[in-house]
């Protein structure tokens, strides 16, 4: 991987920072956040501005350019990748390390007195704007909104914004109609005396209307905003996309059943002026809900007295707790996904000795096998298919220049998943096709112990996920080891593979209590830079547990694995497992054999079946 050469781009950007065509006064720094106007994690090519300016293409990172410096902040998953993708005009700021300055502190340390820092108000979240603005003000600087995006100004061949056709989610999948969801939303609004709600997150809008799109790779969403009042629904979306009769009928655009369920559509770009109009007509006590992660530009349209920013919208919370239909769909999707992976691993075993399988061809094979499954839509994120040292790059994506060949000597880590019409999957397995070293087995076993500790944990109703994070690390910590990423994230149902508001992480923000019906990943790991990476990931469903006692009638929860793919026993040092852990592995493999075996049988996949039977032998 060779770094992007950015000398000329930085020169142009710095010129734009002084150009009165864009700004009244020159700015001394320009912030380039990671997201789009919806604060999406995965973004469309036209929104990859941070990648354009610095070369780093991971899913999280913020670039800041001053007259003399250029720095980029990202987290532990991306330290290696970022250092390889950026040239030496850039300083990598490793978030989470004690010595790393925050963006605010760094700006304060490098800026001349009374500096002005600019940012595009559409791609910075309101809460980030607030914090940054306050910190800069306290040091005598100011943060200003630059309406013209300065990256776009210097980006000659910037792609256009996608506008794919929307499709309805087939009626059996969501469990609730969009009308049901609208009614539930309005009852939450009434409960809190809220007159209007502004939906800005793309997955929330897709979920609310039971629509899907393909504007952003891997995420079945479409560019839109929605404003919901007690008797009004406004959907801001390129109207051409709703041209399909089934979609028009689904939304009852031509024949609304009730006035309050009549959807008015308007162009995507008109959300700003329409929200202004809504706000102009507000009564003195009326309140508008908007996520505190919505864009600064849209948030500031709502006068402060009427604005009620919330960390999680009612849609985000409702979407996280899956109903019985969605759970059933997620289970089906995971069975199909496991079939494809069993087939893949059986195939790899046969092919690797020939020396012809690479990271890229293995990932392609996985995609091909998944695409043979019913209702496959696409991948849910770029496959992390990594051999040996590449495995230590936590969010690695194989490229022709980094592509390694799978062999009998190095660990292979595959973190991949798919979108099916009935659900979304995300699974990581780490395998050795030859003889793993004692050290590889030892660290794999610690990771497995952590995975089991979370998966088998029983905890009181109302527990937040961050309180479970240390269970995943305990065995690693005891040996002086650790991993620099969270343990799990929420997973959508035929929606984004990463979603809030729950998760399992040492970071305590973005963390609502776990509830039965929520779905998260359980994915501890261990990474040895330059050598190998290990991660064991299942998607798990939060379910009620029935322990011996029931303290204060609070009830208990635990997890049920939805992912049913064998964990390679060859990598386990069974001496390091307790009897309880061995029992967990054997019971898990029994379930894999039973459930996936039945589907392999049905699909007549003999080789995969043999592989499954062998890989699910009980361990002693």
CB of 479 or CB of 617, closer to a copy of itself:
479
Q: x/- contact string, 417-456, with a copy of itself (CB under 8 A)?
A: ----------------------------------------
Residue matched to tokens 């990748």: 81
Site string for a copy of itself, 505-524 (x = CB under 8 A): -x-x----------------
Interface with a copy of itself includes 482 (CB under 8 A)? Answer: yes
Of 371 and 578, nearer to a copy of itself (C-beta) is: 578
Please give the structure tokens belonging to residue 173: 């999948």
Say how far apart CA 30 and CA 13 lie, in whole Å. Answer: 9
Q: How far is the CB of 278 from a copy of itself (least distance, A)?
A: 19
Pick the closer one to a copy of itself by CB: 218 or 459.
Answer: 459
Binds a copy of itself by CB under 8 A, chosen from 91, 109, 138, 147:
138
Q: How far apart, in whole angstroms, are the C-alpha atoms of residue 353 and residue 449?
A: 30
Q: How far is the CB of 191 from a copy of itself (least distance, A)?
A: 12
- DSSP result, 22-69: T-SS--SEEEE-SS-TT--SS--GGG-HHHHHH---SSS-EEEEESS-
Report the alpha-carbon distance of residue 587 to residue 580 in Å, rounded: 10
Size of the site for a copy of itself (CB under 8 A): 36
List beta partners, residue 559.
542
Binds a copy of itself (CB under 8 A): choice among 21, 240, 258, 285: 285
Calpha distance 317→501 (Å, rounded): 7
CB of 47 to a copy of itself, least distance (A): 33
Residues 63-92 that bind a copy of itself (CB under 8 A): none
Piece in contact with a copy of itself (CB under 8 A), picked from 182-190, 409-417, 475-483, 607-615: 475-483
Residue number with CB closer to a copy of itself (272 or 506) = 506
d(CA 49, CA 149): 9
If the CB atoms of residues 15 and 114 are measured against a copy of itself, the closer one turns out to be 114
The residue among 589, 568, 537, 541 whose CA lies nearest residue 415 is 537
> Taking the complex as a whole, how short is the minimal distance between the CB of residue 555 and a copy of itself, in angstroms?
8
Q: How many CA atoms lie within 13 A of 596 on its CB side?
A: 32
Please report whether residue 100 would count as binding a copy of itself according to CB under 8 A.
no
Which position among 52, 178, 197, 471 is part of the footprint of a copy of itself (CB under 8 A)? 471
Closer CB to a copy of itself, 36 or 442, in the complex = 442
Smaller CB separation from a copy of itself, 303 or 355: 303
Helix (H) or strand (E) holding 182: helix 178-191
Write the interaction track for a copy of itself spanning residues 394-413; mark x where CB under 8 A is met and - where it is not.
--------------------
Identity of the residue, 76 or 256, whose beta carbon is nearer to a copy of itself in the bound complex: 76
Pairing status of strand 196-199 against strand 225-229? antiparallel
Interface with a copy of itself (CB under 8 A), residue from 204, 469, 581, 615: 469
Nearer residue to a copy of itself within complex by CB, 422 or 469: 469
The rounded distance, in Å, linking the Cα atoms of 519 and 541 is 5
Work out whether 544 is an interface residue with a copy of itself (CB under 8 A).
no
Among 407, 470, 595, 603, binds a copy of itself (CB under 8 A): 470
Distance CA 535, CA 160 (A): 37
Mapped onto helix, strand or coil, the DSSP state of residue 149 is coil
- Shortest approach of a copy of itself to residue 144 CB, angstroms? 20
Output the smallest distance, CB 385 to a copy of itself, in A: 25
- Judged by CB under 8 A, the residue of 25, 148, 368, 478 near a copy of itself is 478
Compute the chain's Rg from CA coordinates: 25
Contact 290, 198 (CB under 8 A): yes
Pairing of strands 211-212, 196-199: unpaired
Residues 113, 31 contacting (CB under 8 angstroms): no
| Residue choice 20, 21, 24, 98 for contact with a copy of itself (CB under 8 A) | 98
Buried-exposed string 121-136: b where 16+ CB fall within 10 A, e elsewhere = bbbbbbbbbbebbebb
User: What three-state secondary structure class fits 19?
Assistant: coil
Helix (H, G, I), strand (E, B) or coil at 215: coil
CA distance 416 to 523: 12
Residue 355 interacts with a copy of itself (CB under 8 A): yes or no: no
Task: Assess contact for 380 and 218: CB atoms under 8 A.
Answer: yes
With H, G, I as helix, E, B as strand and everything else as coil, classify residue 271: helix
As a whole number of angstroms, the distance between CA 580 and CA 593 comes to 20
Binding status of residue 308 toward a copy of itself by CB under 8 A: yes
Contact between 110 and a copy of itself (CB under 8 A)?
no
The residue within the footprint of a copy of itself, chosen from 147, 246, 474, 574 (CB under 8 A), is 474
Binding of residue 550 to a copy of itself (CB under 8 A): yes
578 lies in the binding site for a copy of itself (CB under 8 A): yes
DSSP 368-379: HHHHTSTTEEEE
Q: Does 240 bind a copy of itself (CB under 8 A)?
A: no
Residue 142 contacts residue 104 (beta carbons within 8 Å) = no
Identify which of residues 270 and 479 has a Cβ nearer to a copy of itself in the complex. 479
Q: Please identify, using beta-carbon distances, which residue of 136 and 216 lies nearer to a copy of itself.
A: 136
Shortest distance, CB of residue 387 to a copy of itself, whole angstroms?
22
Comparing CB distances to a copy of itself, the nearer of 232 and 470 is 470
User: Which residues of the chain form contacts with a copy of itself (CB under 8 A)?
Assistant: 98, 138, 140, 285, 308, 457-460, 462, 466-471, 473-474, 477-482, 506, 508, 545, 547-552, 554, 556, 578
């Amino acid at each position: 991987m060779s770094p992007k050469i950015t000398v000329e781009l930085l020169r142009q950007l710095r010129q734009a920072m002084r150009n009165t065509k864009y700004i009244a006064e020159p700015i001394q720094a320009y912030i380039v956040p990671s997201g789009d106007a919806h604060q999406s994690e995965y973004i469309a090519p036209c929104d990859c501005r941070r990648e354009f300016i610095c070369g780093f293409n991971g899913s999280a990172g913020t670039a800041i350019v001053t007259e003399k410096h250029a720095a980029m902040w990202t987290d532990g998953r991306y330290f290696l990748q970022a250092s390889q993708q950026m040239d030496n005009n850039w300083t990598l700021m490793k978030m989470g390390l004690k010595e790393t300055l925050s963006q605010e502190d760094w700006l304060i340390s490098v800026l001349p007195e009374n500096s002005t820092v600019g940012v595009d108000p559409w791609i910075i979240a309101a809460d980030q704007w607030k914090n940054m603005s306050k910190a800069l003000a306290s040091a005598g600087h100011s943060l200003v909104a630059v309406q013209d995006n300065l990256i776009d100004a210097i980006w000659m061949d910037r792609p256009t914004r996608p506008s794919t056709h929307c499709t309805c989610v087939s009626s059996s999948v969501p469990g609730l109609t969009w009308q049901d969801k609208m009614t539930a939303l309005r009852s939450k609004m009434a409960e809190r005396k809220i007159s209007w709600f502004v939906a800005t997150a793309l997955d929330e809008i897709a979920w609310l209307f039971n629509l899907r799109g393909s504007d952003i790779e891997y995420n079945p969403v479409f560019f839109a905003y929605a404003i919901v009042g007690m008797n009004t629904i406004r959907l801001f979306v390129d109207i051409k996309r709703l041209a399909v009769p089934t979609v028009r009928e689904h939304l009852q655009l031509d024949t609304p059943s009730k006035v309050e369920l009549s959807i008015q559509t308007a162009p995507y770009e008109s959300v700003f002026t329409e929200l202004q109009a809504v706000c102009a007509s507000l009564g003195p006590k009326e309140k508008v809900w908007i996520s505190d992660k919505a864009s600064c530009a849209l948030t500031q349209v709502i006068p402060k007295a009427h604005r009620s920013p919330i960390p999680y919208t009612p849609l985000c919370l409702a979407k996280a707790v899956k109903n019985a239909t969605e759970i059933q769909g997620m289970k089906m999707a995971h069975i199909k996904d496991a079939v494809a992976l069993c087939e893949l691993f059986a195939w790899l075993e046969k092919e690797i000795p020939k020396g012809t399988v690479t990271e890229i061809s293995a990932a392609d094979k996985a995609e091909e096998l998944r695409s043979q499954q019913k209702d496959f839509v696409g991948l849910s994120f770029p496959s992390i298919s990594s051999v040996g040292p590449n495995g230590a790059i936590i969010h690695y994506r194989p490229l022709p220049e980094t592509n390694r060949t799978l062999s009998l000597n190095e660990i292979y880590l595959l973190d991949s998943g798919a979108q099916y019409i009935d659900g979304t999957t995300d699974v990581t397995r780490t395998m050795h096709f030859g003889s793993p070293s004692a050290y590889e087995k030892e660290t794999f076993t610690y990771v497995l112990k952590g995975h089991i500790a979370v998966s088998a944990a029983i905890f009181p109703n109302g527990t937040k996920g961050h309180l479970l994070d240390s269970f995943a690390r305990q065995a690693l910590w005891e040996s002086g080891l650790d991993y620099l990423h969270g343990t799990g994230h929420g997973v959508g149902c035929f929606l984004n593979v990463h979603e809030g508001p729950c998760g399992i992480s040492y970071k305590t923000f973005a963390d609502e209590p776990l509830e039965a019906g929520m779905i998260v990943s359980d994915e501890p790991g261990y990474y040895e830079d330059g050598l190998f990476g290990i991660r064991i990931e299942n998607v798990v469903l939060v379910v009620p547990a029935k322990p011996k006692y029931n303290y204060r009638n609070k009830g208990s929860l635990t997890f049920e694995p939805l992912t049913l793919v064998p964990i390679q026993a060859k990598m386990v040092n069974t001496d390091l497992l307790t009897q309880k852990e061995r029992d967990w592995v054997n019971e898990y493999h029994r379930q894999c054999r039973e459930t996936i075996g039945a589907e392999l049988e049905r699909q007549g996949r003999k080789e995969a079946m043999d592989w499954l039977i062998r890989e699910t032998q009980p361990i002693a």
